[in-house]
Amino acid sequence: MSTLFNFKHLSLRQKLILTSIACLVLPTAAMLYISSYHSKLIIREHTLEKATQSLAIVQSQVNAIMEELVSISNFVQFDPEIKTLLEESRNDPIAARKLTTRLEQIAGEKPDLRLTLLTRDGRAYSDYSFYDFEPQRFFQQAWFAQASHLTAYETLFLGGLQNYLPLLDPDQGYVYLTARALTEAIDHAPFAYLIVSRTEDSIRDLFVGMEEDVYLLDEVNTILSNRNNDNIGQSFSLIMNEATSSSPSIIHLRGENQIHLSLPLRYAGWRLVSLAPYEQLTSKLNTIYQSALFLQTLFAVFFLVALTFLLRRFTKPVRLLGEAAKKVESGDLQYRSNIRGRDEIGRLGRSFDLMLDRIQEMLERVELEQELKRQAEMAMLQAQVHPHFLFNILSSIRMKLLIKNDEENASVVGSLSSLLRASLSTQTEFVTLYAELETTMQYIDLMKFTMRFPTECHLDVQPDPLTITVPRFILQPIIENAYKHGFTQRGGSIKIKVITVASRLFVTVEDNGLGMTAETLQTLKNRFNVKKQDLIEQMITEERAAPLGIGLFNVYSRLKLLYSDRFEMNVYSEYGKHTKVVLIFPAGEPVEPIERGEQPV
């Protein structure tokens, strides 16, 4: 608790420095530990993957060599010419010579590839000279008994055997070979034996240049090929005990960590095993990792020192700004920080001073508004005398007309008085639908009195007019347009229809007056294609509207400002026939947006 209490009483500069050091050192240490742990795992996985890929390449190459030996055996076994030459060569030396030439052709250009055919009657044919090796000696080999018991199409693979031909190269001391019993059918005895061999260095050459030490093992773990000729023929268990490790794995062998991998070959149960020093394979990656770790630590220390210096430098304006705030808090609104600059602190100081300037302006403006408000209240009290005086006079005139039994004129004066009283009342923006319709009918009564031609009005109201509230004076401008533009040359009728659909109010005012031309109707619709924000900007700039459709545009503006996108206004007209205006807005005062329903026809 005492440490926390002392930290609270440190200055902002000290808090920033301490928290910056903590926020830098702790994550850096955690990051270095985590990156070290994961880097070792990544290096291990990368090394194992690389070693596996290298051994897989050798695996495919050795499989290809063994596949070649099998393919040659299959070709010889199913070549009808060779079988024919074998039968003819018993008594025909020319056929024997052709058979030897045929074997030489099959061997091709590979100098270490040797083919030998042995018949059951002791004859032998090969692509090498009998002076180098007598093929009949194969009958005396220990493995030949196993070859003689092979079934049809079965191939015997042997490796790690001494080269039976004179050495063309000191590295060709061993050979691997395949033996197959040639039969005409599965249940027939073999008529000959085919032996195909290659020198062991054809496989050992695949290991040249590899960092791994690769071994070719047979099914009993005898080494058949290795870069060290002394290992050929020995048991691999003398080098390592595979029973105690799996592949792939990292084992401790010969005093160091070794990567142990094993991949099977396609034939004879042979497989490839590789051993590689782990540290040797990962030395480059470890050097890169250690260098990166050292640079990260060095940069962290340098950044810590630089951060401490820069924080002390950058927080100086903050301290000055705090002193300015204390001055203002004490009541000195004339004090300014005078901190300037292009960075955030400079903008903060400039904004702070500007805020103080605006506060002073607002205080002065409030004092001025209070004075103007007092003057306006006085003017309002004086102006209220005139409407009340006018209402009293109109009421007196109506009473005298009623005394004289002039009910028609008394009704007109009563309508005028009620209409003036409604128009001069500013207590509320919304009235009931009943009150709005009553005001509209009073206005229509006055217009009938002033119009030359007779007109009629029909109401069709489906909702309860006492429960629905609407904005004031939304119908009077539309009725005025009907009388002003539609009934100048003839009389007619006006129909007011009000219905509700899905909590939306549809108010339709239709007259059978003169109507509008298509050009005038399109111009009017273009004026109604105005968004709420554009209306507000027009009001701010006091932009004057065009003379066309002033009443309709005022209705549109008021409802658009009240209901925004929830309000729609549609105008339909045909010249010489009719005009219809449809207002669509939510029923009741605007509170929340509602979903749009279907517009009735």
Structure confidence by residue, pLDDT tens digits, 348-398 = 778 878 888 888 788 777 777 676 666 655 554 454 445 555 666 667 676
Contact 251, 258 (CB under 8 A): yes
Dist CA 355 CA 392 (whole Å): 54
Residue bearing the bigger pLDDT, 543 or 93: 93
DSSP 150: P
Residue bearing the bigger pLDDT, 489 or 376: 489
What is the enclosing helix (H) or strand (E) of 19?
A: helix 12-77
What are the residue ranges spanned by the domains of the chain? 2-41+291-314, 61-197, 205-281, 318-381, 428-586
Strand-by-strand arrangement of the 124-126 sheet: 124-126, 114-119, 192-199, 174-182, 155-162
Residue at 547: amino acid letter: P
**Under CATH, to which class is 61-197 assigned?**
alpha beta
Number of H helices and number of E strands within the chain?
16, 17
Instruction: Identify the residue whose tokens are 């102006």.
Output: 383
pLDDT at 427: 56
Entry pTM: 0.47
The CATH architecture that domain 428-586 belongs to is 2-Layer Sandwich (3.30)
Instruction: Identify the residue whose tokens are 């926390």.
Output: 4
Burial of 65 (0-12, 13-18, 19+ CB in 10 A): middle
CA distances from 300 to 13, 296, 375 (A): 21, 6, 70
Domains 61-197 and 428-586 share a fold: no
Mean pLDDT of the chain: 79
pLDDT at 64: 93
**548-576 burial string, b = 16+ CB within 10 Å, else e?**
ebeebbebbbbbbebbeebbbbebebeee
Instruction: Identify the residue whose tokens are 């030949």.
Output: 144
Q: What is the CATH number of domain 205-281?
A: 3.30.450.20
Per-residue pLDDT tens for 265-287? 998 899 999 887 776 656 666 67
Instruction: Find the angle CA(231)-CA(234)-CA(236) to the nearest 5 degrees.
Output: 90
